[in-house]
Structure 1
Amino acid sequence: MAHVAQRPPAWARRDLKARLITYARRALSVILVVAATAAGGYLALVGYHQSATLSVGEIRMSVSPGHRGALDVYVPLVDWGARFEAIRAPIRLRVDLQTVNRRVATSLAEGKPLDVEQVRKEAEDALRTYLMRLIGLTVAAASALGLLVAFAIRSRVPRLRWTAPTAILVAIGIGVAMVTLVPPRGEIADPQYYAHGPDIPRALEAVEAAQRTPGVLDQELDAQLVGLARLVVEPGRRQSLTGQPTITVASDLHNNTVALGVLERATDGGPLFFVGDLTDRGSPLETRLVSRIVHTGDPFVFVSGNHDSDYLKRELAAAGGIVLTQRGRLKQDGTYGPVINKIAGLRVAGYDDPFERRSAESFRDRFDNNPQPGMQEAFLQWLRPLIGKVDVVMVHEGALLSTALDVLKDDPPQSPLVFLIGHTHKTALDQRPGVTVINGGSIGAGGTGNLAESTELSLARFTFTTKPAFQPLAADLVSIDPGTGNSSARRAILEPETTR
């Protein structure tokens, strides 16, 4: 006789269902308590701020969650800020300079020194007090709201005993996480500077103000900010940039003549090193449109990119521009001068792009996404005899450097060597022993044919010294959103470790 499976009795099924419902209620209760505890902590985190009076002025400290961890020092008076990625939690600890002490501002304007250590100690004490109170308030608020929900649940279901301990444990966990992740760690260095504005001119004015301001903080901030700047950047550790020569590095205009005015203001009559792709095809019409750029820099130095042409090079040289090629400087009569040229105190060489367009071929596109076999080796062989004799090498296509950088990694040059590149339309900086690679992005925001891509308008500023010998000091990478005018500027100090 076949065995027939018997169904569990009704009371067993009811008991199983009751237990499942109980477990579900307990799990839901714990989830609600955890959510309430976290919400209480979040409300305290975003709602609490504190003001403190320092000798340089009054500051306001607050926290903004949901961002990449950073310490923001912001000055509403001039709509300018500095951001330091020194916090591991996904929040921004913000310090706003609300007022500037008139006595301190007057003293600084008269050239009198500021007691930096006193200001630093005041700032550290203010931040420490704020963070201690913030963490304490966050834990208290998290516990209060969590326990409130826990007791509300227990009043309806008395057997749920885990809700209150859960609230307390979660609140303690939030406090431990804040103690571990919120206070800034390590050296506060390599800031990113930013400004907000409705248009490019306003944003550029902020960048220009940062470039021309004398004093401490390596001239990044307006004179009103000097006191605040000293809260976060220790002066005297690095060589001052005041009075040091600076060049503007730009590339990839791509016929965007609207950006020429921005480039003129950024260059301000100083040296302009343009690293290729001034046009889209290098045709005679395009050349006439952009030829005024020769008078933007004093001097104007150029190497070709894959969107430029032999015709463009000849016209720029004839107009007085310094056009560099792997064969040497292109002269107005079409002959070539030396490969290494002394320009703005620098020994400079340039490598014209192997994909540049040719007038004899109707300016057709010759570009390949990757350098052809042998091009990187050819560049290395061209570079070898120049190492130790040249300070700056201009080359549009950064991929051509690949083999050379590998060789220089194994055998770093005895004297600093700086490569200026373009092509990618993105600002970038690469540092390695003895070698620096700077990409100024795209001054034309990708060109008039790429407006839909929302490419930032960008350039770089390179500061150096030639006394007693060539030494890179700093690189500023500047980006401006052409739609909103919002700008950011990041400074990297390029001095060797022994001088930092």
Structure 2
Amino acid sequence: MDGQQNDEPRRDRDGKTPPGRPRRFPLTRRSASHPDGGWRLGLRRFAVAVAILVVTLVGVLAGVVAGGNVGTDIGPFHARLSVSPTTDGGTTVNIPPLGSLLLDSHGGPTQLTVELGALEQSRVEALIDDPASLNRATQSAVDEVREGVMRLGLRTVGSAVLATLVLALLVFRDTRRAAWAGGLALLITAGSLGTAAATIRPQSIEEPRYEGLLVNAPAIVGDVRKIADDYTRYAEQLQRLIGNVTQLYTTVSALPVYEPDPGTTRVLHISDLHLNPSAWQIIRTVTEQFGIDVVIDTGDITDWGSEPEASYVGSISLLEKPYVYIRGNHDSGRTAAAVARQPNAVVLDNTTTTVAGLTIAGIGDPRFTPDKSTSPASGGLSQPTADELITTGEKLATTIRSSPRPVDIALVHDPAAAGPLSGTCPLVLAGHTHDRQINTLPEVPGQQPTTLMVQGSTGGAGLRGLEQEEPTPLAMTVLYFDQEKRLQAYDDITVGGTGQAQVNLERTVIAPPPTTPLGATPTPTPTTISPTPTPTR
């Protein structure tokens, strides 16, 4: 029809092909016995198997990432356990902000990560008050870890199989193939965890490797057992020390020597906390009991300036008082940024601020040298370092002279930078040396005298303070300024000492200067208060 040839063979009325016409057959699939058919069928089955394997691996990975973690309590800590794929096994114990312990605990393609979170205050207090509870917590910690790992394994297997089944159904839309993928996921996940369990090495806890701050812990603190014993004795005193500080405030308030005016501004000067968590407890107590208006920190709040240490500065916000800070040589730019994120903190770096009526100027230390060689005991400054610090002091002096408001207090970390500030302001605060000192800077003719107050270590020098037979005591100073923002008195507070739970306070009252020529130095009148030490040996 229409000139087109019909390839279909003509048939008679009975449906048979007329004689002489070739009979044609419809196309059919080649049988499996045919050489080409077997090859194609095998290739197709291989492709399906590879697709199931790929879907299974993706599903297992997604399931492990989504569900391969559990929270558990280990003693007073809330910890999070998680697993992840790896090539050589092992366990990582993260201890913010100190760093990590790496344990060669097992083989296989599974890594266990233990993230120790915050201490629960109620549980810690209960352990401190009841030594029997502390022993029970130590014994039960192993069982708690074992229970957490078992729950983690079951959750990981279930999550991996479920994620694989869902993914396989979405990809293949075939229940049989989804079942194959789910079974394979179960085999892979359970096999990996079983391999880890079969190759566990309990002795690995005795040979940990360190990362972060903990890399330097053995070199800094020496014999771990000796330090642990010393620190345990030291930690046992904290509760008694805080109670002594509270009693101390009552004693100080009754002193007839000096009574602060209602308009007095109280400043707490701290420095060199060096990651000591005990320091925050004392700082909070003093801030509350002494009615502090502003806290000034002259640097070295951390030890190594690393990212994990940033969580340590979170306690600043708990003070609920203005917190003025400059960077020390152990503090990095990340440390300063973490402090600046606190809602009540002000970070000064060759800048000025006015807080609680006081105009304060400060500059960070020009160095970032957190290694042990830069500790105060390492010796004097090299000439290039001394020149660098003097240049830093000169920069701050220029900023102070150009300030629209007279500066009441200047802040530097290393007292070696304070020389150029003579005559620019009445008071310079510093730290760094871990040794409390008070001096008058060399006077500049025609300029007001400048007092330099160097703070001890409010953190007891951190881990370094435990190297000695007795830990370095915690030091801080309360400064009293009158309504004209002149320093009227100060209380030097010293807390701690191994073997004695003791708080000492030395009050110095600065007599008002008589009508003498400009440059006369006021005479301080010290008063020392030492509450009775309580032996704890």
TM-score, structure 1 length as denominator? 0.47
TM-score, structure 2 length as denominator? 0.44
The higher-RCO structure (CA 8 Å, 6+ apart) is 1
The structure with more radius of gyration:
2
